[in-house]
Amino acid sequence: MTVSHLPEGVSYEDAASLPTAGWTAYTALHDKARVRPGETILITAGAGGVGGFAIQLAKLAGLTVITTCSSKNIDHVKKLGADHVIDYTKEDIVARTKEITNGRGVDFWLDMVSPESANMGMNSIAFGGAVIVIQSNPTIPIGDMFSRQPSIHDIFLGGHHGADIKSQKHLSDIGDAMIKLVKEKKLDTLISEVISLDKVPEALERIKHRHVTGKIVVKVA
């Protein structure tokens, strides 16, 4: 069982918004990438749940953050802390990434979109960089293994629940760390709506078609 402490001053709604997207972002940055100040990361789908948490956590860790989104969400992701925003509907993501990094590429590419997007990450990372994927594994030409020496990390948070006690407890530790950031007003929980149980089917339909920014929380009476 995964349990985190809920301190006074943090609402149930805010706490409910953190799993699974927030924990996934935390795992990607701190457990897999092990990010350090001064590094550069590109986060795809910055207006989504994982992306929105990842932007904030990366900035708190001292990284330069590049993210992708559509035009309507540019102000939103900038408010979360993105240093550079690429409008994927109008711009060449790989070319803009190289331009922003003066040709070097990013240290990390965090992808929540698709295998094709993850492949763009392989063309956008610096030598020795990493592509971190949420169910969107890239294909890696053998030449890239030699010329870039990349590392690939696949995140599936649900795997922790079937793992050993140490791994399960780690989820509790992540929950405690993120709730502490919320209490300290350092982390926006990204709640766009709080809905009743009967509104869930309609909300799921909107999520399916990517018509949601941030997180929707269901409040059960």
CATH code of the domain containing 196: 3.90.180.10
Q: How confident is the model over 106-113, as a mean pLDDT?
A: 96
Residue 32's pLDDT band (boundaries 50, 70, 90)?
very high
Q: Is residue 210 part of a domain?
A: yes
Q: Which run of H or E residues covers position 154?
A: strand 151-154
Residue 140's pLDDT band (boundaries 50, 70, 90)?
low
Residue 192's pLDDT band (boundaries 50, 70, 90)?
very high
Q: Is residue 110 part of a domain?
A: yes
Residue 186 makes CB contacts below 8 A (sequence gap 6+) with 56, 60
- Write the DSSP symbol of residue 114: -
Percentage with pLDDT > 70 across the chain: 95
Residues belonging to the chain:
221
Dist. CA 130–CA 138, nearest whole Å: 12
| 57 pLDDT higher than 90 | yes
- Domain enclosing residue 179, as ranges: 7-221
Q: How confident is the model over 134-148, as a mean pLDDT?
A: 68
| 124 pLDDT higher than 90 | yes
Q: Which run of H or E residues covers position 123?
A: none
8 A C-beta contact, residue 213 and residue 192: yes
Say how many CA atoms lie within 13 Å of 204 toward its Cβ: 7
Bond prior to 40 in cis (omega within 30° of 0) = no
| 62 pLDDT higher than 90 | yes
Q: How many domains does the chain have?
A: 1
Q: How confident is the model over 122-147, as a mean pLDDT?
A: 80
Q: Is residue 25 part of a domain?
A: yes
Task: Say which residue, 157 or 181, is predicted with more confidence.
Answer: 181
* Distance between first and last Cα of the chain: 24
Dist. CA 29–CA 160, nearest whole Å: 16
| 174 pLDDT higher than 80 | yes
Tokens of 153: 């990390």
How far CA 187 is from CA of 10, 54, 97, in Å, comes to 12, 11, 26
Q: Is residue 15 part of a domain?
A: yes
Q: Is residue 1 part of a domain?
A: no
| 111 pLDDT higher than 90 | yes
Dist. CA 24–CA 190, nearest whole Å: 15
Q: How confident is the model over 155-174, as a mean pLDDT?
A: 84
Which pLDDT tens digit goes with each residue over 194-220?
999 999 999 999 988 877 888 999 999
| 138 pLDDT higher than 80 | no
Q: Is residue 2 part of a domain?
A: no
Q: Is residue 56 part of a domain?
A: yes
| Averaged confidence pLDDT in the chain | 92
